[in-house]
Structure 1
Amino acid sequence: MYALGATLFLAGFASGYIARWWRHGCMNGEDDDLSDIDENDAVHEGDTSDALPEECKMVLGVRMDLKMDKGKIAAQCGHATLGSYRSALRLCPEYVRTWQKLGQTKIAIKIPDEEHLLQVRDAARKLGIPAQIIQDAGRTQVAPGSKTVIGIGPAPNSLIDQLTRSFKLL
C-alpha cells in the first residue's frame, strides 16, 4: 500500500511540476500564450447560462507489462501529462479551462499491455479526446521506443470514463 501511495504522489508531483514549468515558458523556448485562460472565463464562448460545466480530468495509463519502477513511472507520467496538456490546448481549449478551474484532476490507471494502450488511444481519438502516448528513449529500464504511458485528456469525466472504467487504479 505504501508503494502505491508513493507512486501516485510522485506521478502527481512530477506532472504538476512539469506542467507549471512549461506554462511559464521554460520548455524549449516555446511560448504558448495562456494569458487568455482566465479563471473568470466562461467554459464555452458566449455561454450565458449559470449551469456549471462538467468536471474534467486527465488519466495517465501506465503499461504494467514493462515492470517499470516507481521513479520511471513518475517520469513517464510527467511526460504524458505535458504532452496531453499541449495537445488539449490545440484541440479542446475549453476542456483545459474547465480542468484548470476545477483542480486539474489526474488519475493513474493500470494498462496491461501495448495492445490495450493502442486501443485506448484509438477510442479516445474517435471521441475527440486528446491522447498522447509516450515512447521511451531506452536509456534505463525499457527497450528504446517502448510505449510506456498514455495521457488522456483533459476532457469531461463522462467521456474519459467511457474509455477507462474497465481499468484498475494504479
Structure 2
Amino acid sequence: MSDEEAGDGIGGDVGTRDEEHKMALLVREDVAMGAGKLAAQAGHAAVGAAMATRDRSPMLMGRWECDGQKKVTLGVKNLRVMNELLGEAKTARLTTFVVEDAGRTEVEPGTVTVAAIGPAAASDIDKITGHLRLY
C-alpha cells in the first residue's frame, strides 16, 4: 500500500504545548476517485502516518492527539507536485506516508492517490502546504 519511504523522516519541531499540531492529506486532483474511494485512501494515509509517528516520536503523537488529531485535506495538481511537496517535507524531517492503490476497484494498480505529511507542528506543515487549496 505504501512505498518504501513511508513514515520517513520523523523530526521537525515537536512544538510547544500551546502550538497547534496537524496532519496534511494531499489528494491528487488528476486521479478520478469516487467519494468512498477517496475517503478510504485518505484513511490509509492518515493511519499510516499516525502509526509511523507513534513508533518514532511518542511525544509528538501525544501532542497531536491532545490537539484533537486535526487533519486538513488539500488538493495537489498531479504526482509531480505531490512528490515535490513530499521532498520538502522529508528535507524538513517531517513524517510522510504515500498510498499506492492495489488496483482492485477504480484506479490502476500502483497509482499513488493520497499522501500524508505529519502529524507535526502546524507551522512546519504550513511552510510546505500553506499555498494549497482545501480539497
TM interval, shorter chain, is: 0.7 to 0.9
Cα deviation for residue 91 of structure 1 reads 3.2
1:113 aligns with 2:81: no
In the aligned structure 1, how far is the partner of 2:103 from the partner of 2:72?
Answer: 25
TM-score scaled by structure 1?
0.68
Question: Once superposed, what is the RMSD of the aligned Cα atoms?
Answer: 1.6
Q: Secondary structure at the match of 1:99?
A: helix
Unpaired runs of 5+ in structure 2?
Answer: 1-13
Unpaired runs of 5+ in structure 1?
Answer: 1-42, 45-50
- Alignment equivalent of 1:150, drawn from 106, 112, 115: 115
Cα deviation for residue 141 of structure 1 reads 1.0
Partner residue in 1 for 2:131: 166
In the aligned structure 1, how far is the partner of 2:128 from the partner of 2:39?
Answer: 22
In the aligned structure 1, how far is the partner of 2:79 from the partner of 2:28?
Answer: 7
Q: 1:108 to 1:81 in 2, by over 3 A?
A: same
Identity of matched residues, %: 36
Q: Secondary structure at the match of 1:85?
A: helix
Partner residue in 1 for 2:63: 98
Q: Secondary structure at the match of 2:116?
A: strand
Partner residue in 1 for 2:95: 130
Cα deviation for residue 67 of structure 1 reads 1.5
Indicate the larger mover: 51-60 or 125-134: 51-60
In the aligned structure 2, how far is the partner of 1:93 from the partner of 1:111?
Answer: 29
- Extract structure 1 runs of 4+ deviating beyond 3 A: none
Partner residue in 2 for 1:80: 45
Q: Name the count of aligned residue pairs.
A: 122
- Give CA-to-partner distance per residue, 1:109-149, whole Å, 9 cap, x none: 00110001111111111111101010000111111100000
In the aligned structure 2, how far is the partner of 1:158 from the partner of 1:92?
Answer: 18
Cα deviation for residue 92 of structure 1 reads 2.8
The structure richer in helix per residue is 1
Q: Which one has a bigger Cα radius of gyration? A: 1
- Alignment equivalent of 2:19, drawn from 29, 32, 54: 54
Cα deviation for residue 64 of structure 1 reads 0.7
Q: Which amino acid aligns with 1:159?
A: D
Q: Which of 1 and 2 has higher RCO (CA within 8 Å, sep 6+)?
A: 2
Q: Which amino acid aligns with 2:70?
A: T
